[in-house]
Chains A and B, each alone.
Chain A
Amino acid sequence: MSEAAMRPARVALVGNPNTGKTALFNALTGSRQKVANYAGVTVERKEGSLVTPGGRTLSILDLPGTYSLRARSPDEAVTRDAVLGRLAGEAEPDVVVAVADATNLRLVLRLILELKAVGRPMVLALNMYDIAQRQGLRIDLAGLERELGCPIVTTVATRKRGILELTAKVDDLIASGALSTANVWREPSAGEIRDAHREAQRILKAHVRPPEHPDTMTGRIDAVLLHPVAGLAILFALLFLMFQAVFTWAAPLMDGIDASFAWLGTVVGQGLPDGLIKDFIADGVIAGVGSVLVFLPQILILFFFIILLEDFGYMARAAFLMDKIMGGAGLHGRAFIPLLSSFACAIPGIMAARVIDQKRDRLTTILVAPLMTCSARIPVYTLIISAFIPNATVGPGLSLQGLVMFGLYSAGIVSALLVSFVIRKVFWRGAVEPFLMELPTYKLPSFENVFRNLLLRAQIFLSRAGRIILPLMVLVWILSTFPGPPPGATDPAIDYSLAGMIGHAIQPLFAPIGFNWQMVVALIPGFAAREVAVAALGTVYAVGDAEANVGALGARLAQHWSLATGLSFLAWYVFAPQCAATLGVVKRETNSWMWTGVMFAYMTTLAYLASFAVYHTAVALGAG
C-alpha cells in the first residue's frame, strides 16, 4: 500500500446514552487509552488507539452520549462540536462511528439522520446484536445499509464480537477515499424533529421486524425497583449497604497497606544513618504516602458500587425515585447522580452536574455537591472516630463507630438539601427545569468494563496523590522541621519551626471552636486536599513526639485532644471548603469567581458555626 493510503486516521464514536458505546470503546482500544480534558472545558476526553488488520493506526475518540446534535448540556455540546469539527484544538474526525443499541433503534435513527446531514463518512455499529437476536428482532441489514447510505457492522462489544469487522470497515472507508460531503446540519425546529422522527419511523418499519420475544425482564425488575414504597426502601438499603461495605470490606486491605508502609519505613530507617535524610524519607515521604494510599480501597469500593449500578441501569431509576424528594429541596432529579458521585469526590460530582441541562439547577447542584461526604473526608473521620468513639456494638451488625459515620454522612446530605432549598428561595424562584430521562433496559454489567472503569478511577486518585499530596507532604515536613530547635531546648522541636509559628499565630481565630495550634497547622496543607490533614497531623505529632506512626496517631490524638475538640474537628470537616481543587473546578465549571466565592464563604461560615455549636455543647455536657 502507498504511504498516503496508510496515514493514521481519527475516528469519533457517537451514540445515544446506554448503547454500550464505552464498552465498544474499551473493546476497540483495550488498555491503550488516555483520559484528559478538552481544552477549556472539564468534559472528560477519552481517546484510545488501535491498529487495523490492514495496518492503519486509528485514534478513537469516545464522545459523550447524546440524543441529538442540538446540544443542551456542556457534555452534549462537546459531542456536537467534535462532530462538526468546531472544537478548539481538536481536528475533525475522518470517520464517525454511530453506535446504536440494536434493540432500541428508533431514537438513534434520528441521530443518524442528523449525523448524515453533517456529511462525514460514517459507519453504523449495531451493538448488543446478541440481545436483538435472542429477542427475535429481524433487521434487514442490506436494506438498512442502502437506506442510510453507510456500511453497517453488527457488534457485541462486551464479548468483543464484530470488532475486527468494524475496524476493517472503517479502514475500507478511508482507503476508498470517502470524503465528507457538505455540512447541511442546523439546529432542528420542532417541526423538523417531527419530520425526522417520521422518517426514522418509516425506515424502522421498512427494515426492522419487531421482536418475537420482547424483553420482559426490565418490566418485571421495574415492578419491584420502581415500586413507590419497596423501591425507595431498596434504594435506602442499597445506600446503607454501600457505606457499611466501604468500612467493613476495606478494613483488611487498609490494615495490610498500613502494615506494609510501617514495615517499609522501618526497613528504610534501618538502612539509613540517623539525621535529616532519614527523618525526611521515613517520616516525611513514606509515612505521608502511606497515610494517603491507605484510603484507596475505600475509594475503589465506593466507585465499584457506583459503576456497577450505572452499568446495570439502576442510576436512572434512583434519579426517578429521588426526584420528588430532591425537587422539594429545589434540586433536579438528575442531581442525584452528581451528588452520589460526590460521595466519592466532589470533583467528578461537580463535573457530572453537566448532565443537568439548565444553568440554575446545575449551579445549585455544584454549590451543594461539596457538602456530600467525599472519600477524602473518610481518612479524617476514620481517624477521629477511632480515637474518640468507643468501638462498641449497638445492635446486630451495627457498631457505634459505624453509626457515628452514618450520622456524619447524614449531616452532609441534610445540610446539602437545606442549602439548596435556601439557594432556590434566595437566588431564584419559580423556574423549574423539565425532568425527562430515559430509563434504560437493565443489563448485566460486564466484568471487564467495571474493572477498566475502576482502574481509571484508581489511576486518577493515585496521580492526584502523587502530584498534589506528595509535594505537600514534603512542604509540611520542611515547614515543621526548619528552623530546628536551639541547643538545649526542652519543648518538642516543632514548637520552634515555621509551622509552629504559623499555627501559633492564627490559632486565636480557632480558639473559640476548640482547635489547638497543631490542628491549625494541619488545616493549612489540608486546604490543598482534605486527606492531607491526616498525614499532616501525623507529621506534626510524629515530629513533635519523634516516633509515632500513622496507626498510632489516633491514640496520640486521644491523649492530646478533649472529646469536645475531636467532635468540633469532625463538625468542621462536614462543612469546611477544605479543598482547593474543588474550588478550582467550581471556578472552571461556573466560569465565575463570584460563585466560587459564594461557595467558599457559605461553607466556611457553616463550618465555623457548626464547630462552635458542637464544641460548646460538648463542653457544657462535660466533655471539655
Chain B
Amino acid sequence: MHQLLAEAMAAPAPGLTRLSQAKPGDRGVIADVRADHTAGHGVDVHELERRLLESGFVEGATFEVLHQGLFGADPIAVRVDDMRVALRRRDAEDVWVQLESK
C-alpha cells in the first residue's frame, strides 16, 4: 500500500523522462531532481539528491548527453549548463528531464 502510494506520488509530470534513459545527443532541460529512488544506493537518497544538486543538476539547468562508456553504455558524460559531469546511469535515475524535440 505504502509502496503504491509512494509510486503514485513519485509519478513524474507527463512528457518527462529519466536522465538515465537518455542517449548521447539528447538534450533539454532538467525538470525535477527528486530523492524517490528506491534501489540500494550506498548513500541515502537524500544525500544523493544533495550531491546531484551540488554537481549542477538543478531544476532549470540545460543539459546534453555527450558520451557514454563502452560497456553497458555506462557511465555517461553530460554537459550541465557550462560544465561537464560524468555520472553512472543508476545515479542519473533521480534526475527527470524534459527532452528537446529533435
Contacts and interface: CB of A to CB of B under 8 A. Distances in A.
Contact of A106 (B46, B53, B81): B81
A219 B25 CA distance: 13
Contacts of A259: none
Nearest to B74: A324
Interface string B78-102: 0001111111101100000000000
A436 B51 contact: yes
A226 interface: yes
B76 to A, nearest CB: 9
Interface string B54-95: 111011100000111111101101000111111110110000
Assign chain B's interface to a size class. 35 or more
B81 A320 contact: no
B16 interface: no
B48 A434 contact: yes
Contacts of B40: 430-432
A194 B53 contact: yes
Contact of A437 (B49, B87, B90): B87
B95 to A, nearest CB: 11
B42 interface: yes
A325 interface: yes
Nearest to B70: A228
Contacts of B75: 320, 323-324, 333, 435
A104 B51 CA distance: 18
Contact of A228 (B48, B68, B83, B91): B68
A561 B11 CA distance: 71
A227 B82 CA distance: 21
A437 B42 contact: no
Assign chain A's interface to a size class. 35 or more
A324 B50 contact: no
Contacts of A72: 51
B5 interface: no
A360 B67 contact: no
B53 A439 contact: no
Contacts of B67: 222, 226-228, 320
Of B52, B88, B90, chain A has the most CB atoms within 10 Å of the CB of B88
Interface in B16-50: 35, 40-43, 46, 48-50
Contacts of A110: 54
Given A226-B67, A323-B88, A194 B59 contact: yes
Nearest to B68: A228
Contact of A320 (B35, B48, B69): B69
A324 B51 contact: no
B86 A106 contact: no
B50 A193 contact: yes
A194 B91 contact: no
Nearest to A232: B70
26 contacts: A67-B55, A70-B50, A106-B82, A110-B54, A194-B58, A194-B59, A197-B58, A222-B67, A222-B77, A226-B77, A227-B67, A228-B68, A320-B69, A323-B75, A324-B70, A324-B71, A324-B72, A434-B43, A434-B48, A434-B91, A435-B88, A436-B52, A436-B55, A436-B87, A438-B85, A439-B85
Given A67-B55, A193-B53, A320-B67, 13 more contacts: A106-B83, A107-B56, A190-B46, A214-B82, A218-B84, A226-B66, A227-B67, A228-B67, A228-B69, A323-B74, A432-B42, A433-B42, A434-B42
Interface of A: 67-68, 70, 72, 103-104, 106-107, 110, 188-190, 193-194, 197-198, 201, 210, 214, 218-219, 222, 226-229, 231-232, 316, 319-321, 323-325, 327-328, 333, 358, 360-361, 430-441
**Top 7 A-B pairs, shortest CB-CB distance:** A228-B70, A439-B84, A431-B42, A433-B42, A226-B67, A324-B71, A434-B91
